[in-house]
Structures are given as C-alpha cells and as structure tokens.
Structure 1
Amino acid sequence: MEQAKDLALSQKERKHIAVLFFLALFCLFGLLWLSTFYKQNRVQVQKKEREKKILLQEIKPDLKEKQPTPIQFVEDDSILAQTQDDQYLHTKGFFYLFHKIYASTEKEVSVHDPKFQWMNLVNIEDRPKFRGKPMRIRGTLVDLKKKKFQGDLAQERGLDDVSYWQGAIYDGEHIYLFAIADFPQEYPQKDTVELVGMFYKIWVYETRVGMKKHEPFFIGKKLRFLEEKEPKGTESLNYLFIFFLGILLILVLYNTISDKPKIRVKL
C-alpha cells in the first residue's frame, strides 16, 4: 500500500503535467500563427527576388559593351583641389578619378586607411585634403543604376559611351553614394556589399519629393558582395519562440522530476 501511494502522482505533479500540456498547445498554436506571417514574408521575399532579377537583367554588362580606351593617366592634384561640394556631378574631378580607377589594378584601389571614416568628412575645412583618398564602406545596397559616360570631358579621357554603375549604400546610419567602373556579369543575390572608393565630393542633389540632400560621393572599381549571416524576416521570430519555449519546458520538467518522491520498497 505504501509503495502504491508513493507511485501515485501528487497534486503538484499533476499541475506540472497540466502546465506542460498547455505549454505544448501554446507552442503548437504559436507556431501555426507565426507560420502565416512566415509564408507572407516568403512571398514578399520571392517577389523582391523576381524584381531584382528583372532589374539585374537590365543593368548587367552587355557582352558587346564598349570597352574604355583611356589615354595615359597623369597625376594632377590641382584637378581635385578645384573640386567643390555642389550639385554638379560630372566635373573634371569625376572623370579624373574614373580615369585613375581604369589605370589602377584591383589590388591598388583596395588599399585604404581604416581610420578614414564618415566623421572625417564632417568638418568642411578638412574635406579638400580627403578628396581622392580611399574609404572602405560596408552596408546594404539600396540603389543601383546603369549609366554611360557622355560629353567632352569623357571624350578627353577616352571614356565616351562607356558604361558605369551608380548607386547608394546604407550602413544603418548614413547614406554613401558611389559610382563604379566594373560590375559582375552574374550578379550575386546578396544585398550586403563592401566598397573601397575614393572620396570625390559632398554631392548636393534634390530628391523626387523636392528635398535637398547632401551626401558623400565615392568612385571605386567594383563592389564586393558579402554573405548575410542574419536570418531574414520572421524566421528569427520562430527561432526565438522555440528557444524560450524549450527553456520553459526544460525548467518545468526538471522541477517535476526533482520534486517526485523516491520509491521506498520495504522488504
């Protein structure tokens, strides 16, 4: 009788089992609820991927693309010294830096000073000494367009009708505008990029809604596409939900086992 009494579930243990049962139901309904948002998110992601593929077909390099035939590059610091922070983008400094990019190897243009950052450009008086200096930029690619060099300044450097790519990178705090000379034929489906670009100017431009913006503009050779390590969309919510629920289940189960009386068998 005493052994049977010890084996019987106590009221506290029955409560623990009930808690486990309701937690399991909560987990099931929670996952079903999150799955709706997950499916919606996946549909949105797939839609964006299709839109991205269409965009990339439009901006990728043409196999018959005209190749640059630039004249020999000659260093001329006076060109950058005359560059001003204004609304004019395609100035002598713009084509001078692109000419320098075409005349440099990928290894040469990747060299940069890690101390050169956004804050160095805040002081207006210090900006001239940073023109042409490479900065490493890392963030989300938020805009990208294919363009062509046009005009007398492009012809002077053998770049007339040659394609280049212009876009924007957002690092979570600031927008960096850029133009690059090369772009991969097959675009990696990644939005996180890194660019080592030479500082050109603070470009003053007007947005579509009429707002005047002042953003730094850089000129580089190519983008480097980085792997995205963070889970996208509501997948992170699923992981978080399962993680905390698992901890709760383990704690309740441990408490149930530890509180259960040991069986005593009398001989």
Structure 2
Amino acid sequence: MNLKGKTILITGGASGIGLESAKQFLANGAKVIITGRNQEKLDLAKKLYPQVTAIQNDVANPDDALKLYHQIESLGGIDILYNNAGVINPPNNLAKTNDQITDLAAYEMNINYLGVIRLNNLFLKMLESRPESAIINTTSILSYVPSNGAATYSATKAALRFYTASLRNHLEIAKSNVKVFELLPPLVATDMAKGIDAKTITPEKLVKALIDSIHKNNFTIRVGDTKIVYFLSRFFPKTAYKLINPAKNNIKLSA
C-alpha cells in the first residue's frame, strides 16, 4: 500500500506511539490529522509538526465521535483510519470499592474497544469511497497472554484482536477495498510504560515496523517480543504466561 498522498487520521495522536506515527507518516508523504483529549498535548504536537491538523476529541464519547466525523468530512475525508488511542488503569488496591473497580473497567473497555468500533462504523463508507484505503487497529502483546497487573486492559486488547480479524474477513468476503491492519506492540517506551520494570522498544522502531508492513500489505504486524510470545502462547502457554508475569512483577490485579 502506498502512503504518499494519503490522508490519515490518528487517534491518540498527540503523544507516544501516535505522535511518532504522525512524524513517520509525514515523512512518507502522507497528510496527517491527529486527535486526542488533551488540548495542551495537541498544541505541543502542532508546534513540533506544523503540517499536522490537530483536533481535540474524545473517541469514547458518541457525540464527540460523530462531531469528529463531520469535521473530517469537511476537511475532505481520509484514506486511512488509525485507531491508536488507548488507556490502562494503574493496578488496583484494596481501598477501591466494587463500583470504582467496575467504573475503571468500563473506562478501559469504552476507549480501547468500543471506541474503535464506533469510529470504524462511522468512517467505513468514507473509506470505501476511496480507491485505496485502510483501517489500522493497535492491539497488544497482552492480547495473546494477559498481564496479572492489567487484567481488563489485556481483555480489551484480546477483544479488539478478535474483532479486527473478524472485520478483515468480513470486508474481504464483501470484496471491500478497505484493508485492515493489526499492530501488536510489545511494551513500548512511552508514558504508559513508566514504572514497569520490563524490556521496552522505542516508538521509532515500532512505527518503522508498522510502515514497512503497510507498504508490503502485511496485515498482522507482530513486533519484537510479540513474535516470541505469540509462538510460545500457541505451543508452550505456561512458559508464555510466566514470561509476561515474572514472579518479581507480581502485583494486585487491575480492573
């Protein structure tokens, strides 16, 4: 798939993987629109990359998502929707009530999973109107093996992985021109990984692998340790579980 001249919308695009993606997509000749909830981060991203169009939006909010669609429509539409926005709750402690735990779980599910479905449904017809178009969903190494310290986050990413595979097959059967890519990162050196004592890769390396795979139409993109965990989860599941959950990192379950 050729990226030059394509217009790409990146959710969660003001920092971390999203911001690095904006940088590398621009370098490949694409036009980039980023969206996120934090206006200050969006302003900083715009200063770094003036070519970017930045829109404040909360993809977990149905009204915001619809507003975003109309804003993008007024800008001429997009060729690629990159669902990158994601959140992870800190590990729970015994002080949290059942209602608090449930609310935290719903928060993760709404952004990491339901928000993706919401945007895909809104933008699908627009994408199908383009000669060459794509949806990119960011899942996780934890979609193969869950983390004891991020139970609901792992569950949201597993749900998104199954949804992504189903969406791709559905669109192929329907002979749609929309390609569906899945990026499965290991732990990446972003703010989300702060405080986690484990090996990381840089956002630069991750996004380079993403763009290389898009060029080659490689739809399932396992990067770094995700390749190892994928193999182990199929043939040596106990070993994979211990790799993701070493004894030194055992912490109380998250929502």
TM-score, length-scaled by structure 2 = 0.22
Q: When you count strand as a share of all residues, which structure comes out higher?
A: 1
Q: When you count helix as a share of all residues, which structure comes out higher?
A: 2
Greater RCO, CA 8 A, separation 6+: 1
